[in-house]
Amino acid sequence: MNLSELFSLLIIVLYALGTLLIIAGTVLRKDQLKKLSNWSAVAGFALHSGMLLFAMMGSDFDLSKGYYIQFLSWSLLFIYFFLWWRMRLSFLGLTASPLAMLLFIGSFTLTTVQGKLPEEWTGMFFGLHIGTLFLSFGLLAMAFGAGLIFIRLERKIKTKEQLTDFDKDMPALATFDRVNHVAVMAGFPLYTIGMASGFIWARLAWGRLLSADPKEIVSIFVWFVFAWLFHQRLAAGWRGRKAAKAVIWLFAISVFSLIGINVFMPTHHSFIQ
Amino acid sequence: MDRDIYLIGLNHKTATVEVREKFALTDCKHLEPGVVPVEGCIKEAMVLSTCNRVEIIVVGEGDGVINHVIQCWADARGQRVDDLEPYVYKHKGLDAVQHLFTVASSLDSLVVGEPQILGQLKTAYHEAVDRNATRVILNRLLHKAFSVAKRVRTETGVASSAVSISYAAVELAKRIFGDMSEYSAMLIGAGEMAELAATHLLNNGIKKIYVANRTFERGQLLAEQFNGEAIAFSDLFTQLEKVDIIISSTGAHEAIIRAKDIRNVLKKRKNRPMFFIDIAVPRDIDPDVNGLDNVYLYDIDDLKEVVEENLAQRQEEAQKARAIVESETQTFSKWLRSLELQPTIVDLVNRSEAIVEEELIKCMKRLDGANGDTEKVLRCAMIAVAKKMNHEPISFLKRRHEEEEAGDRYIDITRRMFNLDNDSVHGLAHGHRRRKN
């Protein structure tokens, strides 16, 4: 086992511990466990950051396709920690820890596939493309988790159904809506930058803007849905259930686009070619 | 020794409100030297008197303690013992301890889990301390009662949910809005329950309260009370735009607010959520309001249902709480028994022998290659030291034990000084005493 494998294993263990602890903490209603879960995820995240940085600095930096997924897993936690720090939303760990763990583990199925290193002068657009899209994906994931709980809780309050202990431990409806707000308000501009830089990079690297790739088509579709939601929230005052549902759909399409297209379809975004 | 803890009292279950009023000791705080003076067979005493109960807790010696206490109680109120006796319960020893723990944990309260009783008990105890009427046993007993109450609160859900209509409404508001400081409320019409809900909202930090009443003057009076603002009843719908929580309790015969009115309001509010609480009968707010997005409507029946669910849940949790009280009573009885001389001496000797064995193992590890003889000599020497160290405290304890008052105190001090009960004591214990000095 080399050092990188050892680190990866340690990160997986820490993320798995974080996942188990947050679930246990929620079920047993112990704040102590939830706190521990967060710190376990923080430790894993620190190692994870170090590993990504080390790989990037390394002289033989080969951008394996697994690296992207690891970076996506990292972005997800980055967004979670940001929201945790700014808004004290530790319940989002219920979405963040398991997803980050699954993505991180999943990344190892792709480590053997090598991508090609982007040219120096296009690297900036490429980095921008990946970074902003991954961050907006992280935001959507958080709003997705918040949206699911919001819809359950909102229905119960509206129909006067009896609340379970789980419901009672959850934050107020307004808090969930704020996650949605942040995700849409910050996520849409990030997504737009990501798309634009992608097209610019395509123009510079391949000489053409559009290539009728399935990934491109779905992404443009997602952009339109996102833009529409952004507009509705901002101008029409959409909030609550409608906004939550819209984000859930948006995230579902993004996941489909990530797994369905990048893995199973012929595309220049492919993870397996 | 026939010294024991006694608890004599009455509560809302044993006596009607007339009887409770007649024998309440709330006004007798000024009595010197207390309702039940610490003299003769009474060694320690304290009195808790609230509108729902009177509890007199004493440490006494001899057979006449109970009768003596009841006599004192009746005398303090200028009543006859015969009028009092039928309503009174008398607990002795562990029963008394258990009863006190049950009361302190609010398991015996009219509304199980209501938190006031603990505060009242603390006040009553501090009064007794100020009067110098408590010693080792009551001090320990009451501190234990406070910690049992705390355990029950944190480990069971006995006090975790709202059991009054107005409080249930506020709890729901918190579930919808979270931090109240960014939101405003409006009272439409005035009534006792609406005022109560407004008070709860203020206690939870609501930003502002508006009052809309048909008679503007009455509304103004109410608004002043809550530091709020009175608005004209005719302006109701234009003002609704500003408020998030609406508590309605007018005497109107039909609905005054309908979905079609609120739809416009919502548009102006950009769909910010609204919570309507309708405590009027007949209802002020048409149920179709609940069909709007981002609007929540609870009427009095809905709130009653929430309260009943919560009450049922409290009863369940009370079972868990009783188990805690039971086990803590056992712990306390262990301590009570240890207040005798012999067990304390045994514990003290055992403690030092345990330390000797511990240190001996460490020593032998360091003395690599030492044989059994060395161990024997070492053990002898260490035990001798321990014995000599124990000798003076033990003979001191024996001497003090023969004096009447001081015995318990020194045994208690010894137990605490050497931590013979393995208690964990946090840094802030007895903070109230330190402040006083």
Residue B291 gets which letter from DSSP? G
Domains and CATH numbers, chain A: 118-264 (1.20.120)
- Could you tell me how many residues make up chain A? 273
pLDDT, position B283: 87
Do B70 and B84 contact (CB within 8 A), yes or no? yes
Q: Are residues B98 and B171 in the same domain?
A: no
| Token digits of residue B382 | 């260490």
Count how many residues are written for chain B: 437
Q: What is the mean pLDDT of chain B?
A: 86
How many domains in chain B? 3
Residue B95 backbone dihedrals phi, psi, to 5 degrees: -60, -40
SS3 A215: helix
DSSP string, B2-35: -EEEEEEEEETTTS-HHHHHHH--GGGTT-TT-S
Is B431 part of a structural domain of the chain?
Answer: no
Kindly state the tokens that stand for A198: 């992608």
Residues B142 and B186 in one domain: no
Tell me whether residue B331 is in a domain.
no
Share of chain A above pLDDT 70, in %: 88
User: What letter represents residue B281's amino acid?
Assistant: V
CA nearest to A30 within chain B = B155
**ipTM metric:** 0.83
Instruction: Show which of B307, B331, B362 is a domain's final residue.
Output: B307
- Report pLDDT digits (tens) over B10-50: 998 898 888 888 888 876 666 667 788 888 888 899 999 88
Residues B260 and B287 in one domain: yes
Q: Is residue B175 part of a domain?
A: yes
- Whether B229 and B364 map to the same domain: the answer is no
Average pLDDT, chain A: 83
Residues of A with CB under 8 A from a CB of B: 153, 157-158, 160, 162-163, 168, 171-175, 237-242
B272 and A239 within 8 Å at the Cβ level: the answer is yes
Owning domain of residue B148: 3-155
Are B146 and B213 part of one and the same domain? no
Residues B173, B295 share a domain = yes
Q: Clarify whether B51 is annotated catalytic.
A: yes
Question: What's the CATH code of the domain at B282?
Answer: 3.40.50.720
Residues B11 and B145 in one domain: yes
Domain boundary among B123, B155, B187: B155
* Same-domain pairing of B90 and B17: yes
The phi and psi torsions of B56 (rounded to 5 degrees) equal: -115, 120
Q: Residues B217, B134: one domain?
A: no
Q: Distance between CA B187 and CA B225 in Å, rounded?
A: 13
From chain B residues 289-348, the ones with a CB under 8 A of any chain A CB are 290, 293-294, 296, 298, 302, 305-306, 309
Cα(B174)–Cα(A157) distance, integer angstroms: 12
Residues sharing a CB contact under 8 Å with residue A226, sequence separation 6 or more, in sequence order: A184, A187, A188, A191, A250
The verdict on residue B317 lying in a domain is: no
At residue A144, the pLDDT reads 92
Residue of A141, A146, A51, A150 lying closest to A102 (CA atoms): A141
Assess if residue B40 is contained within a domain: yes
Render pLDDT for A93-136 as a digit per residue (tens, 0 to 9): 888 888 888 888 887 776 655 555 555 556 677 778 888 988 99
Residue B240, domain member (yes or no): yes
From the number of C-beta atoms within 10 Å of its C-beta (0-12, 13-18, 19+), residue B57 rates as buried
> Which is the catalytic residue, given B51, B72, B363, B380?
B51
Whole-number Å distance between alpha carbons of B73 and A226: 76
Q: Which of B106, B131, B155 is the last residue of a domain?
A: B155
User: B275 touching A, CB under 8 A?
Assistant: no
Q: What is the dihedral angle through the alpha carbons of B164, B165, B166, B171, rounded to the nearest 10 degrees?
A: 80
Same domain, B281 and B146: no
Which chain A residue has its CA at the smallest distance from B173's CA?
A172
Which one of A157, A168, A237 has the shortest CB-CB distance to B296? A157
Residue B230 and residue B295 share a domain = yes
Question: Is residue B395 domain-resident?
Answer: yes
Q: Do both B234 and B359 map to the same domain? A: no
Q: Could you give the CA distance from residue B53 to residue B20 in angstroms, rounded to a whole number?
A: 7
Q: Which residue of B has its CA nearest to A28?
A: B155
Note whether A137 and A75 are within 8 A (CB).
yes
- The CATH number of whichever domain residue B134 belongs to comes to 3.30.460.30
Q: What angle, 0 to 180 degrees and rounded to 10, lies between the N-to-C axes of helices A31-57 and A65-87?
A: 140
Tens digits of residue pLDDT in B234-264: 888 888 999 999 999 888 888 889 899 899 8
Residue B348 is assigned to a structural domain of this protein: yes
